[in-house]
Amino acid sequence: MRSLLSGVLLSLWTASVDAYANPLSCSGTCTNAHDPALIRRDDGTYFRFSTGGKIAIHSAPSMTGPWTYRGAAIPNGSKIDKKGKDDLWAPDVIKVGSTYYLFYSVSSFGSQDSAIGVATSSSLDVNTWTDLGATGVASSSGKAYNAIDSNIFADGSTLYMNFGSFWGDLYQVQMQNPPTKVASGASSKNIAYIPSGDHAQEAAFLYKNGNYYYLFFSVGKCCGYDTNRPAAGQEYKIQVCRSSSATGNFVDKNGKKCAEGGGTTVLESHDWVYGPGGQGVYTDPSNGPVLYYHYVDTRVGYADGQKRFGINKINFSSGWPVV
């Protein structure tokens, strides 16, 4: 009995400690990967967009590299005239029709004076992006949300933008199709909220698998780990809720509402991976659904510029994403 019990405890312990696979190996430039957005062009070239450098563009012949830096997507800065227009954050890319739409945030750290802009290209390449500026999603001090960290989701031909960071956490608004502006008359509604503490939730990413819409997000502190590392467990981790609708009623694995602080952890610090977040999900033609994100490799360094690009395959067979 005793050995059976310790065997059960041992396997529980093993399951909780060794639950996460390490990221797939990455070659070429795997740093400069904060808040990555991943997309594959029809010719098989992968593109990665990331925070900083006026949205850095890297490309590679495969998802795992070798990645090469190509330049800035918006080299002259955003047309949106706010502080941060030359330091663009948190890109998201989607193809609608034959055009690629690149969404980005204009803000400054810890400020609610923020806006989400969009640029378009027909090829994803550097020097092909046209900045269209404001989408109409914006915030200022006193708003319920902070208008950064956009993610565009296509539910058939109906397009939604998910966004938000701290304050009232995650919001959603319907967009026009094509998604250059908020849909006429649409209003933003809350889809996830952590009522306690400093509401440390951001980086929404909605993904459909089977009959469910999975809302992924990052919880905790994202940045500055080299100078101001948070208490253990307060660093970034990736969580999820799901719903049978794209527009709300997201719950976690225990049935707790995402709008009331629910969230099931998909990936958190483990082994030499620290603070994974800023994630997205991509359906790769050869690997199926993959979770991509940035993380600190504790063997290398904790600075924001050292954040690395991570990819794990996702197993949805239980109805919940497992990496």
Ligand X SMILES: *[C@@H]1O[C@H](CO)[C@@H](O)[C@H](O)[C@H]1NC(C)=O
- DSSP, collapsed to helix, strand or coil, labels residue 317 as coil
Between 184 and 318, whose beta carbon lies closer to ligand X? 318
**Nearest distance, CB of residue 55 and ligand X, angstroms:** 12
Q: Collect all residues with Cβ–Cβ distance below 8 Å to 232 and sequence separation of at least 6.
A: none
Between 71 and 230, whose beta carbon lies closer to ligand X? 71
Between 302 and 320, whose beta carbon lies closer to ligand X? 320
**Nearest distance, CB of residue 14 and ligand X, angstroms:** 15
With contact defined as beta carbons under 8 Å apart, do 178 and 99 qualify? yes
Letter for the amino acid at 33?
A: A
With contact defined as beta carbons under 8 Å apart, do 63 and 281 qualify? no
Letter for the amino acid at 119?
A: A
**Nearest distance, CB of residue 233 and ligand X, angstroms:** 26
Between 20 and 225, whose beta carbon lies closer to ligand X? 20
The first and second tokens of residue 57, run together, are 């563009």
**Among candidate residues 59, 60, 88, the one with its CA nearest the CA of residue 74:** 88
Instruction: Please state, in angstroms and rounded to a whole number, the distance separating the CA atoms of residues 219 and 165.
Output: 10
With contact defined as beta carbons under 8 Å apart, do 49 and 72 qualify? no
Between 75 and 224, whose beta carbon lies closer to ligand X? 75
Instruction: Please state, in angstroms and rounded to a whole number, the distance separating the CA atoms of residues 314 and 320.
Output: 9
Residues in contact with ligand X by CB under 6 A are 75-76, 315, 317-318
Between 111 and 264, whose beta carbon lies closer to ligand X? 264
The CA–CA distances, whole Å, from 51 to 22, 89, 239 equal 23, 4, 21
Instruction: Please state, in angstroms and rounded to a whole number, the distance separating the CA atoms of residues 44 and 311.
Output: 17
**Nearest distance, CB of residue 313 and ligand X, angstroms:** 8
Catalytic-residue membership of 35: yes
- Cross-strand pairs, 92: 103
With contact defined as beta carbons under 8 Å apart, do 219 and 194 qualify? yes
**Nearest distance, CB of residue 131 and ligand X, angstroms:** 7
Catalytically annotated residue among 202, 235, 268, 297: 202
**Among candidate residues 129, 114, 161, the one with its CA nearest the CA of residue 56:** 129
**Nearest distance, CB of residue 222 and ligand X, angstroms:** 29
Instruction: Check whether the bond before 276 is cis (ω within 30° of 0).
Output: no
> Annotated active-site positions, please?
35, 202
